[in-house]
Amino acid sequence: MTTPPDGPRNDHGDDGSDNNDPFSEMLRRMFGEQAPNPEEIRRAMQQMSGQSAMPLDPAMFNPAMMQQMMSQFQAMMSSGNSDEPVNWALVRQTARQAAAGDDPSVGTFARREIEDALRLAELWLDQATTMESTGYSGVAWSRAEWVEKTLDQWKEMTEPVATSVSQALSRALSEQLPGQLPEEMRAAMGDIGPMMKNMGGTIFGLQLGQALGELSREVLSGTDSGFPVAGHRLVMLPVNVEEFGDGLQVPEDQIRIYLALREAARMRLFVHSPWLERDLMAAVQQYAAGLTIDLSSIEDAAQSVDPMNPESMQEVFSGRMLVPEPTGTQKAALEQLETTLAVIEGWVDVVTTQAAQALESEAALREMINRRRATGGPAEHAFGSLVGLDLRPRRLREAAAFWQKITDEKGTEYRDSIWEEQLWIPTAEDLDDPDGYEARRQAQAEQTEQMDEELRKLLDGGFNDDGQTPGKDR
């Protein structure tokens, strides 16, 4: 074993770099033994961003070094399938990292508890709704499993927004970034169009991955986000269910059964009315149409980022930097999305309360769900990161009140029959004025019947000039 020579030592290497500094480590990984001095790079970046009073030293931008740096940067930005609007490998990696931590694999006993709770929930729901059981078996997932097994569904739902964001951000960066770089760096970068396209997808991927990772630590079941992202199966996350019950003076089995009732009720609804998924997707796609990027928000966010501090970059990506002020069309899409999610949750509230009469702690658990919503539930967090949706708790209460009124006045069978026709689903106006719902539904039915009658007449041979069907006496 060789003994190092005596002399003063510090935590820095021979080149003055800090062996514990993540920025220095990144440079070493990119360039190996030819890595530039990180202190020089820091000083250059500070001068470029106006954080230093010293003039920019062109000597810092050695053409060979800059060419090597930009080649590495372009390779990083080009990773993944360039034909896709988002680097989905990065989304998965970021989400898994955000979900990591206290996420044990689901054991046999915990899995059996979830399966039993969902099986019992299905039996109780038979007494509270006319919608038939889905027949799906219950499964228990860890947070990591939730990320892996729901990613394809999130991909389908977010790609319209991701495409618009990536294209808009690419245009913005391509127009503004070159003029803000030193000439040596611009020469080294060459054509930045493809790189900017991938950068847009990378930034959106970081934000989406962070959001999904955080969501995996919050969702209690497969439909807890308001959308069946786990596919058509009954899913619960035991570790999150356990954390939900922390501090509650409620038996654990009652918590599992209550949450299982909500999961099974939502799934019955989505299976009974498959157009619900299409409605939610259409609202997201309508929002994505014509999406623009607020450049001022990006500039403001960039000024708050410390290039030497990865955590400051993460804070920017986990926020709503890419969510611009919505247009009139987008506001209408957000209102439709909020109404649809509220109507679904309101129905689930009423059906669950009706099915959970045997649970002594039903009222306490219902109150806990309401408090959870007041601070922003999974649906708001999911769609908030994606489209800037603010799901108001008041809207959820109004939706529950609407379904309770229908149940009290018309009964369970009539209440559930509303979901058989898309035109009968309560609108924002119906939630504001539930007393007028029946009159509006009747008027709509008469209008539809009249249109059908006119269509039948047209198919039978058309109309005369006086509006009469040919061949009929006046």
In sequence order, which residues have a C-beta less than 8 Å from that of residue 406 and are 6 or more positions away?
414, 415, 418, 434, 437
Q: Cβ atoms within 10 A of the Cβ of 362, count?
A: 19
Cβ atoms 361, 251 nearer than 8 A:
yes
Structure tokens at 26: 């990144």
Cβ atoms 162, 386 nearer than 8 A:
no
First to last CA, the chain: 114
How far apart (Å, rounded) are the C-alpha atoms in residues 258 and 279? 27
pLDDT at residue number 444: 77
Structure tokens at 73: 């940067």
Cβ atoms 381, 203 nearer than 8 A:
no
| DSSP per residue, 146-187 | HHHHHHHHHHHHHHHHHHHHHHHHHHHHHHHTGGGS-HHHHH
pLDDT at residue number 54: 47
How far apart (Å, rounded) are the C-alpha atoms in residues 146 and 224? 12
**Of 280, 327, 288, residue with least CA distance to 163:** 288
Following CA atoms 306, 309, 310, 315 in sequence, which dihedral angle do they give, to the nearest 10 degrees?
Answer: -60
In sequence order, which residues have a C-beta less than 8 Å from that of residue 23 and are 6 or more positions away?
38, 41, 42, 308
Instruction: Kindly give the interhelix angle for 63-77 and 193-216, rounded to the nearest 10 degrees.
Output: 50
Output phi, psi for 44, to 5 deg.
-65, -45
| DSSP per residue, 68-93 | HHHHHHHHHHT-S-TTSSS-HHHHHH
Output phi, psi for 339, to 5 deg.
-65, -45
Distance of CA 307 to the CA centre of its chain: 27
pLDDT (tens place) for every residue of the chain, 474 residues total? 444 444 433 444 444 444 444 445 444 544 445 455 656 555 554 544 444 444 444 444 455 555 544 554 544 455 544 567 778 888 899 899 888 888 889 999 999 999 999 999 999 999 999 999 999 989 999 999 999 999 998 888 888 777 777 676 666 656 655 555 556 555 555 555 566 667 667 777 888 888 899 899 999 999 998 889 999 899 999 999 999 999 889 999 999 999 999 999 999 999 999 999 888 888 877 777 666 666 566 556 555 555 455 455 555 555 555 555 677 887 888 888 889 999 999 999 999 999 999 999 999 999 999 998 888 777 666 666 666 666 677 889 999 999 999 999 999 999 999 999 888 999 999 999 999 999 988 887 777 777 877 778 788 776 555 555 555 554
How far apart (Å, rounded) are the C-alpha atoms in residues 384 and 214? 13
Residue 228, H or E segment = none
Q: Do you know the residue count of the chain?
A: 474
Domain ranges of the chain: 88-177+189-292+327-450
Alpha-carbon Rg for the chain, nearest whole angstrom, is 29
List helix spans (H) across 7-107: 22-31, 38-48, 63-77, 88-99
**Max Cα separation, the chain?**
118
How far apart (Å, rounded) are the C-alpha atoms in residues 335 and 156? 21
Bridge partners, residue 221, by sequence:
236
How far apart (Å, rounded) are the C-alpha atoms in residues 308 and 142? 34
Cβ atoms 422, 272 nearer than 8 A:
no
Indicate whether this model's pTM tops 0.85: no
Pick left, alpha or beta for residue 179 (phi over 0 → left; psi -120 to 50 → alpha; otherwise beta). Answer: alpha
Cβ atoms 121, 255 nearer than 8 A:
no
How far apart (Å, rounded) are the C-alpha atoms in residues 103 and 98? 11
pLDDT at residue number 335: 87
Q: Cβ atoms within 10 A of the Cβ of 246, count?
A: 6
Cβ atoms 58, 182 nearer than 8 A:
yes
Structure tokens at 322: 């890419």
Output phi, psi for 12, to 5 deg.
-105, 155
| DSSP per residue, 214-247 | HHHTT--BTTTTSS-TT-SSEEE-HHHHHHHTTT
Cβ atoms 119, 237 nearer than 8 A:
no
pLDDT at residue number 460: 77
**Looking at this protein, which amino acid is placed at residue 70?**
M
Indicate the burial class of 40 (C-beta count within 10 angstroms; 0-12, 13-18, 19 or more): middle
Cβ atoms 73, 177 nearer than 8 A:
no
